[in-house]
Structure 1
Amino acid sequence: MSSHVIKTTEELLLPIVEEKNLELVDIEYVKEGKNWFLRVYIDKAGGIDIVECGEVSEQLSEKLDEIDPIKEAYFLEVSSPGVERPLKTTEDFEKNIEKNVFVKLYEPIDGEKQFEGILKAFHNNIATIEYKVKTRKKQVEIPFDKIAKARLAVTF
């Protein structure tokens, strides 16, 4: 059900974001409490502003109303992915070398299912992350297909 909504939304959205030279980062269709939310995350080099989000929201809303793929009532939210932007594609990994990342795995590597550290390399679909254990720096190599979720991580 939600995969159909996401796929349909993506098909309607791609021409809109491409025309505006924006990047479609992610689409979520989730239930929170009693309410359904269709969340669209867009971005561009240098960041995105509220006006662009509003324009995309308006155009997408019109297209969704035309074909009406969602039966229940829902809220449409269009926003920037923010500083903890998800990393979904191999291109996302390639563009974020030397950035701090948080990665969750489908199965453990070295007894761990999640790592946070600096993405040192992404080569042949393998992410190399440098992380700290107490005061020692260690590296782990993670095949892209073992990554369940990944995002940029803010460090303070």
Structure 2
Amino acid sequence: MSITHNIKELAQPVVESYGYYLLDVNLVPKGRKECWIVIDHEEKGVDVDDCSKISKEVALLMEAHESLEDAYILNVTSPGLDRPLSDPRQFLKNKGRKVRIELLDSEQPDGDPIEVQGVLKNYSEDGLQLTVTKGNKSEELPLIPHSIIQHVYVTPSF
């Protein structure tokens, strides 16, 4: 089993005990060995104090695990705004928010991916549905299938 898999198995029960779910585990093996555990919550944001508590508990488990003898700097974090949505729970949590979708295998003349922006109206196994505003008119777009979506980002409102 891989180191990442072992860390996921150790971290998942701890993360879930605080009411969160595990999104990802990333290892940065160069320079300072870092382990990034990315967590989220189905309804609310990620609490910094909870990240600290989860980090301490997972660090103790990692220290005791024989296949994780290399020391890692452990970081527990929320997905942040720069990370694309990846888990169905993230899409459901962000219904009603403005999103930016990058489409697969499509690019503009400058090489940038073609994007669609709008309010996430619905999420299903088949795809996403957006409401876009043109001037003072709102229009619901047809379903955008997951098969043509490269990335989906929440667009922050400031």
TM-score by length of structure 2 reads: 0.71
For 1:15-30, what aligned pairs fall within 5 Å after superposition?
A: 15-30=13-28
For 1:124-143, what aligned pairs fall within 5 Å after superposition?
A: 124-131=125-132, 139=141, 141-143=143-145
- Please give the alpha-carbon distance, in whole angstroms, between the structure 2 residues aligned to 1:141 and 1:106: 15
TM-score by length of structure 1 reads: 0.72
For 1:32-51, what aligned pairs fall within 5 Å after superposition?
A: 34-44=31-41, 45-51=43-49
- Which one has the largest radius of gyration? 2
- Report % sequence identity: 24
Partner of 1:123: 124
Residue 140 of structure 1 deviates from its aligned partner by 5.7
**Structure 2: runs of 5+ lacking an equivalent:** none
Partner of 2:150: 148
Say which structure is richer in strand.
Answer: 1
Distance 1:120 1:47, change over 3 A: closer
Distance 1:66 1:116, change over 3 A: farther
Contact 2:23 2:39 in 1 (8 A): yes
Aligned partner of 1:4: which letter? S
Contact 1:23 1:42 in 2 (8 A): yes
Aligned partner of 1:113: which letter? I
Structure 1 vs Structure 2 CA RMSD: 3.5
**Structure 1: runs of 5+ lacking an equivalent:** none
Residue 64 of structure 1 deviates from its aligned partner by 1.8
Residue 87 of structure 1 aligns to a residue whose secondary structure is: coil
Residue range with higher mean Cα deviation, 3-12 or 135-144 = 135-144
Partner of 1:59: 57
